[in-house]
Structure 1
Amino acid sequence: MADSGQALSERAEQAMRLAVSAGRKLGLRAHEPRVLHDVFNVLVHLAPDPVVVRVPILALAPATEQAERQRRELALVGWLADQGAPVVPPSPLVPREPMESGGTSLTFWQYVDERDPIAAAPPDALEERFVEQTGWVAELHRIMAGYPGELPVLAPLVPGTAQSLAVLGKRPGILTTADLDRAERENAVVEALVRDLPRAFPGARPQAVHGDSPPYNVLLTAGGHLFSDFEDATLGPVEWDLAGAGPRAVEAYERAGGGPVDRSLLAFMEGARLLQAVAALALAERMPELAGMLEPLVVQWRAWPSLELPHS
């Protein structure tokens, strides 16, 4: 992990204040805090202690709902670490619980020194790196399949998409009326899938999955690779984690022992991922640059076949 050296955004400044306040209440020094990452979450390293605080500064949910989701994540990642899985573990220096600070629920993770982040890879090497890292997900999925804890099905896609579309419906101009009508129809299809996934896709293998592009959420360290950011962990098919990875990456996953991947289910999950990106525009009021970041995905969604369940 490394900071960008750029001036901090207002939300990053706020996140740093929340993280430092919470850390000091837990007995951490936090003399030299620095922001490592600032997009949907802000990651704050409470240096000199080896603790990173994740601050969901853009979250629409209240702190109590955030905390429930975070407890599931901490339980899962703690279990994975106990199994010897390559993950960034919760910090051992504080209780393994979310902590409320300023109306936001925070989580505390062990700091690791990242080497050669994928975002810094040269463009011609980026695809190769991503393909390789998708192959690593096969082993992660093998371990996660044994997770004994409870997880919701395809969360936060459901109910998060419906909540975000309700917000977008009150903000004319972000999406067209036709866009909103299509998104609401597709969300109804996704909700029907969640109610009975095996009926729609009999070959689906629901299990605990990462939930948010695990081949991208990998930290390369001197000791090897570590998966991170399990806040969207959910019960679902492995295809949910592979959506958008591309054919070569999916083939690498299968060669590594993670297959076979259901291509029809994968195509559905890719459409659902695009729908999720459209719904994320609900956060654009609080993060104006997000609209530009998501625009290519919105264009791709408009060109993508509308989601429909296969005939059973």
Structure 2
Amino acid sequence: MEDRSRLLGPLTAAAEKLGLPGIVPVMLSEGTNLIVHLAPHGVVARMAWAQSEADPEQARLIVRRELETARHLHVRGVPVLPPADAAVPAGAGPHEAGGVWLSLWAYLPPQQRSRPTPEQAVSLLRALTRGMRDFGGELPALGVWERVCRSAERLRGQTDPRIRQLVGRFAAADERMRETPGALAPCHGDAHAGNLLPAPDGWVWTDFEDVSLMPAYWDYASYVANLALFGGFEEPTLQYMLHLPDVAADRDAFGFALTARILMATVGNLDDALAGRGDLTFARRQLALAVEAVEAWERLADKMEGR
């Protein structure tokens, strides 16, 4: 992996111009976004280097959309990591440093918390869903899904029968995904537990780069997809969701979101891993389980509906 520390110099210089002097940058995470604490200030920079290299204008739009979404949710009392507008004289962004678009966010010192209970997870998801419902900003229809459609196209040339079966299942889900575009609603897009940060008084949502118009229950499914894939359908949070009155009344919609999310994660991670951009061992574990999990859900759904 290329060393992204070269971006710290331009970042520090840009931060000085934005009104944050005397910075000692501390890298917190180095993935497709570089996350840097601008110590000693209570501000974190999120540098969208991968998207900026691929398409700078699209990177700027995504960064702006992330900030707009987080601000919208924050003023509605949804627990989110807030943009650092109050701490930065020039605002939270979008800003540019060394050819990379970035945003600025509040810094949360590291904390230890137990994973959210099923009740806590659903409460967080309900707050997120309510807050997103009236978001008026422009969002891409099936945005997070469309990106993985390109991954599925690249995987079509694979000869492994498991991959061919996976791509076939994904294609069937894609057909259904496009049947009722009017039913899509604003969603976080990638609301798994890894996008919750521990805060002094609970958990906060972060990472809004995949906000999209998606089917019902998409964010719920995003939270439990890998938990169900690796832990089975008896996984406690999934079981708690299945007994919610609204989910119980529309298990077909929830089940579609869940299986589509499992397929999407598996296709995307496998494509990245085969291209040298991800964890191949993890992607192969997902591949070994994904199609079987989708089929197992279909059997379970039939049983629950008495079919």
Q: Quickly name the TM-score band, shorter chain normalised.
A: 0.7 to 0.9
Coordinate RMSD, CA, aligned: 3.5
Residue of structure 2 in register with 1:151 after alignment: 139
CA contact (8 A) 2:270 2:287 kept: no
Describe the SS at the equivalent of 1:108. strand
Q: What is the CA distance between 1:87 and its match in structure 2?
A: 0.9
62, 66, 79: which is aligned to 2:59?
66
Measured in 2, the distance between the counterparts of 1:110 and 1:65 equals 24
Deviation at 1:53, TM superposition (A): 1.4
1:266-290 Cα deviation digits (max 9, x unpaired): 3322332233232233333775552
- Could you tell me whether the CA contact under 8 Å between 2:78 and 2:128 is conserved in 1? yes
Give TM-score, length-normalised by structure 2: 0.75
Q: Is the 8 A contact 1:135 1:252 kept in 2?
A: no
Deviation at 1:130, TM superposition (A): 5.7
CA deviations on 1:218-248 (whole Å, 9 max, x unpaired) are 2222233221111111222342112215553
1:162 aligns with 2:155: no
Q: Report how far residue 255 of structure 1 moved.
A: 7.6
SS in 2 for 1:88: coil
Q: Determine the structure 2 residue equivalent to 1:113.
A: 109
Give the structure 2 partner of residue 29 of structure 1.
21
Code of the residue aligned with 2:68 in structure 1: it is A
CA displacement at 1:33 relative to structure 2:
1.0
Q: Matched residue of 1:153: which SS? A: coil
Q: C-alpha deviations, 1:18-56, integer Å up to 9, x for none?
A: 543543343323621112223443311111122211223
Contact residue 135 and residue 249 of structure 1 kept, 8 A: no
Letter in 2 for 1:291: L
Alignment partners' CA distance in 1, 2:249 and 2:63: 29
| Closer/same/farther in 2, CA of residues 16 and 296 from structure 1, 3 Å limit | farther
**Cα offsets for 1:84-119 (capped at 9, x unmatched):** 2211111111434323344432222121234215xx
Cα distance in 2 for partners of 1:169, 1:61 equals: 23
State the match for 2:68 in structure 1. 75
SS at match of 1:156: helix
Counterpart of 1:240 (choices 208, 211, 218) is 218
Which whole-Å CA distance do the structure 1 matches of 2:36 and 2:276 have between them?
18
Partners of 1:83 and 1:114 in 2: CA distance: 25
Letter in 2 for 1:67: R
Tell me the amino acid that sits aligned with residue 196 of structure 1. E
* Aligned-partner SS, 2:19: coil
1:262 deviation in Å? 3.2
Residue of 84, 96, 101 corresponding to 1:91:
84
2:179: which partner in 1?
196
Higher alpha-carbon deviation: 188-197 or 137-146 = 188-197
How far apart are the structure 1 equivalents of 2:291 and 2:10? 39
Counterparts of 1:196 and 1:30 in 2: how far apart (Å)? 54
Task: Give the drift of 1:145.
Answer: 1.4
Give the alignment's TM-score, normalised by structure 1.
0.74
1:195-214 superposed matches below 5 A: 195-197=178-180, 206-214=184-192
For residues 223 and 189 of structure 1, what CA distance do their matches in structure 2 show? 43
Name the SS for the 2:84 alignment partner: coil
Which of 12, 17, 41 aligns to 1:20? It is 12
1:213-232 to 2 correspondence within 5 Å?
213-232=191-210
Q: Work out whether residues 44 and 106 of structure 2, in 8 Å CA contact, stay in contact via their aligned partners in 1.
A: yes
Distance 1:15 1:298 in 2: 35
The worse-fitting range, judged by mean Cα deviation, of 79-88 and 234-243 is 234-243
Q: Does the residue aligned with 1:100 lie in a helix, a strand or coil?
A: strand
1-structure distance, mates of 2:9, 2:252: 46
Q: Percent identity?
A: 27
Number of aligned residue pairs: 282
How much does 1:150 deviate?
A: 2.7
Is 1:299 the equivalent of 2:288? yes
Secondary structure of 1:208's match?
A: strand
Deviation at 1:141, TM superposition (A): 1.2
- Indicate conservation of the 8 Å contact 2:155/2:167, yes or no: no
Q: Which runs of 5+ in 2 are unaligned?
A: 229-234, 299-307
